[in-house]
């Protein structure tokens, strides 16, 4: 089973990596094409394009100007350790042992607007480019048209490499749309995580994101390879809810005390 997750907007390049192992991102030629377009954008144009503040527009303008290939080692960090959003808090990568690092590298993938598909320990320089961004390139009007089937093709190679036909989708809709499921050589399992609130179960974004990370880690810890084994996920109060679940769409619910 290969698991896909989304990246995060928040990054940590200040702290030293807790894990030494690293690898090179495999789609840097494509990233370079995108960055050539981004480098021409002023801070104001980045603000308008990405719906970000003036400070973030300036920060990402500066990031874009120094981005290069080969990546600058001193300004790079492994993706799984650089992202610090809720999913990554739930995953808690710093506590992986050596054998888990190897398994994670082959069985977890991070979808990225700039890097396409990242293995967890691929090095990356800081950036901000969400998959839903309407960035015009020679390939079309947005990133979905830019990446087209390139992301799907690489994930298909990874599925073949680990000899599985199962993809666990723990990514957001914005990012999972970058995968062409019609050309994907896998059965897709898409879990949901619901919390009890105001008399009913509902998706609470912060908790759901963290739960995606916790499930991704659960899969690594137990080397899950069968969909039914996901039912054993019981982290921080979440339990499989058979009544709300459908085929390939397991639901996990929690009533907080």
Residue 39: inside a domain, yes or no? no
Residue 16: inside a domain, yes or no? yes
User: What pLDDT band is residue 228 in, cutting at 50, 70 and 90?
Assistant: very high
Contacts 24+ apart (CB under 8 A), 248-251: 248/187, 248/188, 248/189, 248/190, 249/189, 249/190, 249/191, 249/192, 250/189, 250/191, 250/192, 251/191, 251/192, 251/193, 251/194
Residue 197: inside a domain, yes or no? yes
How many domains would you assign to the chain?
Answer: 1
pLDDT at residue 257, as a whole number: 53
Residue 58: inside a domain, yes or no? no
Distance CA 179, CA 171 (A): 11
Distances (CA, A) of 60 to 7, 54, 63, 154, 204: 16, 10, 5, 28, 29
Residue 31: inside a domain, yes or no? no
For 51-105, what is each residue's pLDDT tens digit?
999 999 999 999 999 999 999 999 999 999 999 999 999 999 999 999 999 999 9
Residue 30: inside a domain, yes or no? no
- Domain boundaries, position 245: 2-24+77-254
For 126-154, what is each residue's pLDDT tens digit?
999 999 999 999 999 999 999 999 999 99
User: Over 60: is that where the pLDDT of 166 sits?
Assistant: yes
Residue 46: inside a domain, yes or no? no
What is the residue whose two structure tokens read 């691929």? 122
98-107 and 205-222 are packed helices; what angle lies between their axes, rounded to 10 degrees? Answer: 110
Residues of the chain with pLDDT > 70, as a percent, come to 100
Phi, psi of 57 (to 5 degrees): -60, -45
Distances (CA, A) of 103 to 49, 165, 224, 241: 37, 17, 11, 28
């Amino acid at each position: 089973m290969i698991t896909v997750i989304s990246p995060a907007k928040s990054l940590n390049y200040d702290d030293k990596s807790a894990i030494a192992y690293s690898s090179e991102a495999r789609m840097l030629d494509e990233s370079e094409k995108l960055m050539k377009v981004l480098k021409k954008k002023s801070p104001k144009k980045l603000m308008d394009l990405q719906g970000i503040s003036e400070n973030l527009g300036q920060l990402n303008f500066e990031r874009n100007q120094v981005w290069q290939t080969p990546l600058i080692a001193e300004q790079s960090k492994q993706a799984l350790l650089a992202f610090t959003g809720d999913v990554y808090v739930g995953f808690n990568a710093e506590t992986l042992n050596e054998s888990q690092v190897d398994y994670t590298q082959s069985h977890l993938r991070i979808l990225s607007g700039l890097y396409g598909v990242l293995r967890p320990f691929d090095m990356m320089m800081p950036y901000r480019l969400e998959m839903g961004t309407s960035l015009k390139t020679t390939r079309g009007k947005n990133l979905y048209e830019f990446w087209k089937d390139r992301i799907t093709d690489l994930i298909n190679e990874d599925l073949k490499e680990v000899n599985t036909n199962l993809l666990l989708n723990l990514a957001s809709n914005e990012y999972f749309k970058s995968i062409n499921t019609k050309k994907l050589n896998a059965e897709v399992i898409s879990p949901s995580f619901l919390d009890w609130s105001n008399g009913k179960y509902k998706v609470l974004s912060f908790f759901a994101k963290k739960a995606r990370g916790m499930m991704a880690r659960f899969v690594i810890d137990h080397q899950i390879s069968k969909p039914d084994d996901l039912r054993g996920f019981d982290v921080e109060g979440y339990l499989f809810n058979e009544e709300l679940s459908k085929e390939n769409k397991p639901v996990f619910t929690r009533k907080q005390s």
